[in-house]
């Protein structure tokens, strides 16, 4: 029987401990359902998870049209690494770049309970690893690095695989110019403090007022920088220097510098 394939964001509401212990008619029905669903949807393979079953079963369609029934599959050896671009029926029309083993050895049972071993490489190894992930209640996002997960999350949010991935900006941004302005203004303020040691009291009073305006100006620039950088960080989601932690740290450093300038002004003027 053709079964509906579970798709994101729906997850099966069941516990995972579906080791097959009885090789009976219920198992045979599940295997046939998986085959029928694979054929109906023109798929390479399906895990029982994907049609709502808790059993650790997956079925793979071979190139010759026959089916490989894997019951209680366990990957026992792993060699090499690959970074394939994968797709799965759980996330229709979306792809993701993962990290997989290039060669694996699998132990599994057939429908009679007899144990078998299978060595798989490249595409078949990737396919088996993806299906065994489902049998653990997971999906291929767990095989992505942080950057790829962020990219894939953007695809999910926009319901399209055609996502423009923007890394770190190649040209100076507004936040860069703001930081440069803050730095230059702080340097001017520091020079004013040094000059304060060598001028008359009258001139020092005027210089103190200028310093106050400089510090207020820098404070406002830091606030503006923080919010501008946050907006830019949303655009360049895969640039580590554009992320909120780095932005907050940079703003904090500028605040510390401003505070030091304020302390210097307090003692000099």
Instruction: Give the pLDDT band of residue 130 (cuts 50, 70, 90).
Output: very high
The structural architecture, per CATH, of the domain 25-158 is: Alpha-Beta Complex (3.90)
pLDDT score of 241: 53
pTM of whole model > 0.75?
no
Share of the chain above pLDDT 90, in %: 73
Instruction: Give the pLDDT band of residue 119 (cuts 50, 70, 90).
Output: very high
pLDDT score of 258: 95
The DSSP secondary structure of the chain, one letter per residue, reads ---PPP-TT----S-S-B-----SHHHHHHHHHHHHHHHHHT-SEEEGGGGT--B-EEEEE-TTS-EEEEEEEEEEEEE--B--EEEETTEEEEEEE--B-SEEEEEEE-TTS-EEEEEEEHHHHHHHHHHHHHHTT--GGGGS-HHHHHHHHHHHHHT-S------S-SS--HHHHHHHHHHHHHHHHHHHHHHHTTS-HHHHHHHHHHHHHHHHHHHHHHHHHHHHHHHHHHHSTT-GGGSHHHHHHHHHHHHHHHHHHHHHHHHH-
**How confident is the model over 170-175, as a mean pLDDT?**
77
pLDDT of 164 over the 60 cut: no
């Amino acid at each position: 029987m053709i079964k509906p394939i579970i798709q994101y964001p729906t997850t099966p509401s069941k516990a995972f401990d579906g080791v097959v212990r009885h090789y009976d008619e219920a198992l045979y029905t599940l295997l046939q359902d998986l085959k029928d669903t694979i054929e109906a949807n023109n798929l390479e393979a399906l895990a029982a998870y994907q049609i709502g079953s808790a059993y650790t079963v997956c079925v793979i369609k071979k190139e010759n049209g026959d089916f490989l029934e894997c019951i209680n599959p366990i990957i026992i050896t792993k060699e090499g690494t690959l970074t394939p671009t994968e797709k799965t029926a759980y996330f229709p029309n979306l792809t993701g770049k993962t990290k997989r083993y290039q060669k694996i050895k699998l132990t599994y049972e057939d429908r009679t309970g007899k144990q078998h071993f299978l060595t798989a490489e490249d595409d078949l190894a990737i396919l088996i690893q993806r299906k065994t992930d489902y049998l653990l209640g997971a999906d291929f996002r767990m095989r992505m690095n942080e950057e790829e997960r962020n990219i894939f999350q953007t695809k999910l949010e926009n319901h399209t695989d055609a996502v423009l991935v923007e890394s770190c900006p190649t040209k100076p941004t507004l936040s860069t110019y703001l930081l440069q302005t803050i730095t230059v203004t702080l340097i001017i303020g520091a020079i004013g403090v040094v000059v304060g040691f060598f001028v008359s009291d009258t001139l020092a009073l005027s210089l103190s007022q200028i310093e106050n305006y400089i510090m207020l100006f820098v404070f406002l620039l830091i606030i503006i920088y923080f919010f501008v950088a946050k907006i830019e960080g949303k655009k360049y989601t895969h640039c580590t220097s554009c992320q909120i932690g780095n932005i907050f740290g940079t703003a904090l450093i500028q605040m510390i510098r401003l505070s030091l300038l304020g302390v210097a002004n307090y003692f000099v003027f």
